[in-house]
Amino acid sequence: MPVTYTKVEKITDVAAVKEAYKPTHPGLFEVVYSEGDYNSKLVACKSYAKGEIICKVEGTTPGPKRYTSVQVAKDGHIELNSDLVFMNHSCNPTVSLDTDSMAVVAVVDLKEGDNLTFFYPSSEWEMDQPFTCWCGADKCVKSIQGAKFLSSEVMSRYFTTSHIQQLISERDA
Ligand SMILES: C[S@@+](CC[C@H](N)C(=O)[O-])C[C@H]1O[C@@H](n2cnc3c(N)ncnc32)[C@H](O)[C@@H]1O
């Protein structure tokens, strides 16, 4: 895994990006690059059974809250420094990003080519770059801003990290 990993923000030439970026987890998952802003995605390169660890989250560095960062504690954020940064959000996610065990885990059975997505508010309390969700899930929560803006009933449908559980308890006390 490269020591410094710079995520491409706006993609104008997919072929050039594919040429320049070596996959960080070959055989496990890969980025499907698409032109434009934030249109790329991460897909499985093989099948995974529900509950299986897809990878451990390694090579991270602490940093400020950004649209690429992941919250790991009440006041702590990391950069993933790998292709995992291309995991999109879904309100019907296929994986969990467990910042307590630092692992990406399948939450459904997955086959090759399936999207790897997680529920961003599972780890994020108040996001740097909120967005309107295009996942299309039946129970899509639409406005993705972080767990702070969702009821405990909505959050109870999802895997949640320990810092988010704690922040919800404090908010609802
Ligand atoms: C860390 S990037 C994920 C990879 C991103 N798709 C890309 O190509 O750069 C996070 C950004 O992707 C976009 N994104 C991810 N999941 C989304 C979703 N379900 N609906 C709308 N935008 C999403 C948002 O712009 C978000 O700030």
| Residue located nearest, by CA, to atom 1 of ligand 1 | 68
Note the ipTM here.
0.99
| CB of 163 shorter than 6 A to ligand 1 | no
| CB of 71 shorter than 6 A to ligand 1 | no
| CB of 89 shorter than 6 A to ligand 1 | yes
Residue with tokens 């960062």: 69
pLDDT at res. 3: 44
Q: How far is CA 8 from CA 29, 35, 126, 143, 155, in A?
A: 18, 11, 23, 24, 31
pLDDT in tens, 62-95: 999 999 999 999 999 999 999 999 999 999 999 9
Q: Please check whether residue 164 is in contact with residue 122, taking contact to mean a CB–CB distance below 8 angstroms.
A: yes
pLDDT in tens, 103-146: 999 999 999 999 999 999 999 999 999 999 999 999 999 999 99
Quick one: pLDDT band at residue 18, thresholds 50, 70, 90? confident
Quick one: pLDDT band at residue 22, thresholds 50, 70, 90? confident
- Would you list the domain boundaries of the chain? 10-172
Q: How far apart are CA 88 and CA 131, in angstroms?
A: 12
Question: Separation of 31 CA from ligand 1 center, angstroms?
Answer: 13
Right CATH for 10-172 from 1.25.40.10, 2.40.33.20, 2.170.270.10, 3.30.70.660: 2.170.270.10
| CB of 80 shorter than 6 A to ligand 1 | no
Helix (H, G, I), strand (E, B) or coil at 172: helix
Average pLDDT, the chain: 94
Q: How far apart are CA 91 and CA 47, in angstroms?
A: 21
